[in-house]
Chains A and B, each alone.
Chain A
Amino acid sequence: GENVEQHPSTLSVQEGDSAVIKCTYSDSASNYFPWYKQELGKRPQLIIDIRSNVGEKKDQRIAVTLNKTAKHFSLHITETQPEDSAVYFCAAKGSTGGFKTIFGAGTRLFVKA
Protein backbone atom coordinates (compact mmCIF):
# COMPACT_ATOMS: atom_id res chain seq x y z
CA GLY A 1 0.00 0.00 0.00
CA GLU A 2 0.96 3.66 0.05
CA ASN A 3 3.75 4.59 2.39
CA VAL A 4 5.54 7.75 3.51
CA GLU A 5 8.90 7.52 5.23
CA GLN A 6 10.24 10.46 7.21
CA HIS A 7 13.74 11.13 8.55
CA PRO A 8 15.13 11.89 11.01
CA SER A 9 12.81 10.97 13.85
CA THR A 10 14.53 13.47 16.14
CA LEU A 11 16.52 16.57 15.21
CA SER A 12 18.31 18.93 17.54
CA VAL A 13 19.76 22.21 16.25
CA GLN A 14 21.18 25.39 17.71
CA GLU A 15 19.11 28.52 17.45
CA GLY A 16 19.89 30.27 14.17
CA ASP A 17 20.96 27.09 12.37
CA SER A 18 18.98 25.44 9.59
CA ALA A 19 16.90 22.27 9.94
CA VAL A 20 16.08 19.84 7.14
CA ILE A 21 13.51 17.05 7.28
CA LYS A 22 13.22 14.55 4.44
CA CYS A 23 10.37 12.35 3.27
CA THR A 24 9.93 9.76 0.56
CA TYR A 25 6.64 8.45 -0.77
CA SER A 26 5.72 5.30 -2.62
CA ASP A 27 2.58 6.20 -4.57
CA SER A 28 3.59 7.81 -7.85
CA ALA A 29 0.02 9.15 -8.20
CA SER A 30 0.48 11.41 -5.17
CA ASN A 31 0.01 15.02 -6.20
CA TYR A 32 -0.25 17.01 -2.97
CA PHE A 33 2.34 17.20 -0.20
CA PRO A 34 1.43 19.12 2.95
CA TRP A 35 3.59 19.65 6.03
CA TYR A 36 2.04 19.93 9.47
CA LYS A 37 3.46 21.29 12.71
CA GLN A 38 2.20 19.97 16.01
CA GLU A 39 3.21 21.85 19.14
CA LEU A 40 3.06 20.08 22.46
CA GLY A 41 -0.54 19.38 23.46
CA LYS A 42 -1.98 21.00 20.35
CA ARG A 43 -3.51 19.87 17.10
CA PRO A 44 -1.44 19.50 13.89
CA GLN A 45 -1.65 22.58 11.70
CA LEU A 46 -0.62 23.09 8.12
CA ILE A 47 2.52 25.21 7.70
CA ILE A 48 3.25 24.79 4.01
CA ASP A 49 2.23 22.59 1.11
CA ILE A 50 3.36 21.86 -2.42
CA ARG A 51 1.64 20.38 -5.43
CA SER A 52 3.18 18.02 -7.92
CA ASN A 53 3.42 20.62 -10.69
CA VAL A 54 5.81 22.74 -8.59
CA GLY A 55 9.41 21.94 -7.64
CA GLU A 56 9.89 24.40 -4.80
CA LYS A 57 7.87 26.71 -2.60
CA LYS A 58 8.99 29.21 0.00
CA ASP A 59 7.21 31.08 2.78
CA GLN A 60 9.49 33.30 4.85
CA ARG A 61 11.81 31.00 6.81
CA ILE A 62 10.34 27.74 5.58
CA ALA A 63 10.65 26.12 2.18
CA VAL A 64 9.69 22.82 0.66
CA THR A 65 11.28 21.08 -2.32
CA LEU A 66 9.83 18.23 -4.34
CA ASN A 67 11.63 15.75 -6.59
CA LYS A 68 8.93 13.76 -8.38
CA THR A 69 11.38 11.51 -10.18
CA ALA A 70 12.98 10.37 -6.94
CA LYS A 71 9.66 10.58 -5.07
CA HIS A 72 11.01 12.61 -2.23
CA PHE A 73 10.30 15.99 -0.71
CA SER A 74 11.96 18.01 2.02
CA LEU A 75 11.19 20.75 4.52
CA HIS A 76 13.83 23.40 5.15
CA ILE A 77 13.65 25.78 8.08
CA THR A 78 16.26 28.54 8.15
CA GLU A 79 17.28 30.74 11.09
CA THR A 80 15.56 28.43 13.52
CA GLN A 81 14.01 29.85 16.68
CA PRO A 82 12.98 28.15 19.93
CA GLU A 83 9.32 28.46 18.93
CA ASP A 84 10.05 26.20 15.94
CA SER A 85 10.42 23.34 18.44
CA ALA A 86 7.59 20.92 17.67
CA VAL A 87 6.78 17.68 15.89
CA TYR A 88 6.64 18.01 12.12
CA PHE A 89 4.71 15.63 9.89
CA CYS A 90 5.04 15.27 6.16
CA ALA A 91 2.18 13.80 4.18
CA ALA A 92 1.28 12.70 0.68
CA LYS A 93 -2.12 12.67 -0.89
CA GLY A 94 -3.12 11.21 -4.21
CA SER A 95 -6.07 11.25 -6.49
CA THR A 96 -6.54 7.50 -6.23
CA GLY A 97 -7.69 5.45 -3.27
CA GLY A 98 -10.27 7.97 -2.21
CA PHE A 99 -8.95 11.08 -0.51
CA LYS A 100 -6.55 9.50 1.91
CA THR A 101 -3.66 11.48 3.30
CA ILE A 102 -0.76 9.26 4.29
CA PHE A 103 1.45 10.72 7.01
CA GLY A 104 5.06 10.17 7.87
CA ALA A 105 5.96 9.09 11.40
CA GLY A 106 6.95 12.61 12.42
CA THR A 107 10.16 14.45 13.33
CA ARG A 108 10.61 15.94 16.76
CA LEU A 109 12.61 19.15 16.32
CA PHE A 110 14.40 20.73 19.27
CA VAL A 111 15.83 24.21 18.83
CA LYS A 112 18.30 25.03 21.58
CA ALA A 113 18.61 28.63 22.63
Chain B
Amino acid sequence: DVKVTQSSRYLVKRTGEKVFLECVQDMDHENMFWYRQDPGLGLRLIYFSYDVKMKEKGDIPEGYSVSREKKERFSLILESASTNQTSMYLCASSSWTGGRTNTEAFFGQGTRLTVV
Protein backbone atom coordinates (compact mmCIF):
# COMPACT_ATOMS: atom_id res chain seq x y z
CA ASP B 1 0.00 0.00 0.00
CA VAL B 2 1.38 3.37 -1.05
CA LYS B 3 1.87 5.71 1.82
CA VAL B 4 2.23 9.45 1.52
CA THR B 5 2.50 11.01 4.92
CA GLN B 6 2.33 14.66 5.83
CA SER B 7 3.89 15.70 9.10
CA SER B 8 0.89 17.59 10.52
CA ARG B 9 -2.90 17.48 10.08
CA TYR B 10 -3.44 20.92 11.58
CA LEU B 11 -1.12 23.89 12.01
CA VAL B 12 -1.68 27.40 13.32
CA LYS B 13 1.03 29.94 12.61
CA ARG B 14 1.46 33.67 13.00
CA THR B 15 1.85 36.14 10.14
CA GLY B 16 5.50 36.50 9.20
CA GLU B 17 6.58 33.13 10.56
CA LYS B 18 8.60 30.73 8.45
CA VAL B 19 6.60 27.54 8.04
CA PHE B 20 7.77 24.08 6.97
CA LEU B 21 5.36 21.43 5.70
CA GLU B 22 6.92 18.02 5.35
CA CYS B 23 5.89 15.14 3.11
CA VAL B 24 7.34 11.64 2.97
CA GLN B 25 6.48 8.81 0.56
CA ASP B 26 7.58 5.20 0.87
CA MET B 27 7.12 3.95 -2.70
CA ASP B 28 10.35 5.20 -4.25
CA HIS B 29 8.37 7.57 -6.49
CA GLU B 30 10.30 9.98 -8.66
CA ASN B 31 7.64 12.70 -8.81
CA MET B 32 6.34 14.67 -5.87
CA PHE B 33 3.88 17.55 -5.79
CA TRP B 34 2.49 20.20 -3.50
CA TYR B 35 -1.07 21.46 -4.04
CA ARG B 36 -3.29 23.80 -2.14
CA GLN B 37 -7.01 23.16 -1.99
CA ASP B 38 -9.47 26.01 -1.62
CA PRO B 39 -13.27 25.91 -1.98
CA GLY B 40 -14.36 26.50 -5.56
CA LEU B 41 -10.78 26.50 -6.85
CA GLY B 42 -10.00 22.80 -6.75
CA LEU B 43 -6.41 21.67 -6.42
CA ARG B 44 -3.83 24.18 -7.56
CA LEU B 45 -0.24 23.14 -8.12
CA ILE B 46 2.35 25.10 -6.16
CA TYR B 47 5.57 23.22 -6.98
CA PHE B 48 6.60 19.83 -8.17
CA SER B 49 9.80 17.82 -8.31
CA TYR B 50 10.74 15.01 -10.66
CA ASP B 51 14.06 14.10 -9.06
CA VAL B 52 16.22 14.80 -6.05
CA LYS B 53 17.26 18.45 -5.93
CA MET B 54 15.08 19.18 -8.98
CA LYS B 55 12.08 21.47 -8.70
CA GLU B 56 9.67 23.16 -11.05
CA LYS B 57 7.19 25.95 -10.41
CA GLY B 58 3.55 25.12 -10.66
CA ASP B 59 0.74 27.59 -11.20
CA ILE B 60 0.93 29.51 -7.90
CA PRO B 61 4.53 29.43 -6.61
CA GLU B 62 4.62 32.97 -5.21
CA GLY B 63 5.37 33.06 -1.51
CA TYR B 64 6.50 29.43 -1.44
CA SER B 65 9.68 27.48 -1.93
CA VAL B 66 10.46 23.77 -1.81
CA SER B 67 13.29 21.44 -0.95
CA ARG B 68 13.99 17.89 -2.11
CA GLU B 69 17.23 16.69 -0.60
CA LYS B 70 16.18 13.04 -0.50
CA LYS B 71 13.99 11.12 -2.91
CA GLU B 72 11.38 10.24 -0.32
CA ARG B 73 10.97 13.72 1.20
CA PHE B 74 9.54 16.90 -0.31
CA SER B 75 9.21 19.98 1.86
CA LEU B 76 7.10 23.06 1.25
CA ILE B 77 8.34 26.28 2.82
CA LEU B 78 6.37 29.43 3.44
CA GLU B 79 9.13 32.01 3.79
CA SER B 80 6.94 34.56 5.58
CA ALA B 81 3.44 33.27 6.21
CA SER B 82 0.53 35.52 5.34
CA THR B 83 -3.19 35.18 6.04
CA ASN B 84 -3.96 34.51 2.36
CA GLN B 85 -1.91 31.31 2.68
CA THR B 86 -4.49 29.87 5.05
CA SER B 87 -5.55 26.74 3.19
CA MET B 88 -5.50 22.96 2.98
CA TYR B 89 -2.16 21.74 1.62
CA LEU B 90 -1.93 18.38 -0.10
CA CYS B 91 1.22 16.52 -1.01
CA ALA B 92 1.20 13.84 -3.71
CA SER B 93 3.62 11.47 -5.38
CA SER B 94 3.65 9.43 -8.55
CA SER B 95 6.00 7.13 -10.36
CA TRP B 96 7.58 7.81 -13.70
CA THR B 97 7.61 4.79 -15.93
CA GLY B 98 9.65 6.42 -18.65
CA GLY B 99 8.63 7.56 -22.08
CA ARG B 100 5.25 9.19 -22.24
CA THR B 101 3.36 7.03 -19.80
CA ASN B 102 1.66 8.85 -16.95
CA THR B 103 0.47 7.31 -13.73
CA GLU B 104 -1.88 8.23 -10.93
CA ALA B 105 -0.95 10.46 -8.06
CA PHE B 106 -1.20 9.24 -4.46
CA PHE B 107 -2.11 11.91 -1.95
CA GLY B 108 -1.21 12.59 1.63
CA GLN B 109 -3.95 13.25 4.18
CA GLY B 110 -3.53 17.01 3.96
CA THR B 111 -2.38 19.76 6.33
CA ARG B 112 -4.87 22.43 7.25
CA LEU B 113 -2.81 25.55 7.83
CA THR B 114 -4.26 28.61 9.50
CA VAL B 115 -2.24 31.82 9.51
CA VAL B 116 -3.38 34.36 12.10
Which residues of A are at the interface with B, using a C-beta cutoff of 8 A?
A: 1, 6, 9, 31-32, 34, 36, 42-46, 49, 51, 89, 93-95, 98-106
- A101 engages B90 (CB within 8 Å): no
* Residues in B whose Cβ lies below 8 Å from that of A44: 43, 90, 107
Chain B residues with CB under 8 Å of A98's CB are 48, 50, 56
Which B residues are CB-close (under 8 A) to A42?
Answer: 109
Bound CA–CA A106/B104 (angstroms): 17
Give every chain B residue within 8 A of A93 (Cβ-Cβ). 102
* 13 A-B pairs with C-beta separation under 8 A: A1-B59, A6-B42, A31-B100, A32-B103, A43-B4, A43-B90, A95-B102, A99-B48, A99-B96, A99-B102, A101-B94, A104-B42, A106-B43
B4, B35, B42: which contacts A105 (Cβ < 8 A)?
A: B42
The verdict on B61 contacting chain A, using a C-beta distance below 8 Å, is no
Q: Report chain B residues within 8 Å CB of A94.
A: 102
Please give the distance in Å from A52's CB to the nearest CB on chain B: 10
Residues of chain B within 8 A of A32, CB atoms compared: 102-103
Report yes or no: A106 in contact with B42, Cβ–Cβ below 8 A.
Answer: yes
Cβ proximity bits B41-75 to A, threshold 8 Å, 1 near / 0 not: 11111001010000010110000000000000000
A99 close to B94 (CB less than 8 A) = yes
* A101→B33 contact, CB < 8 A: yes
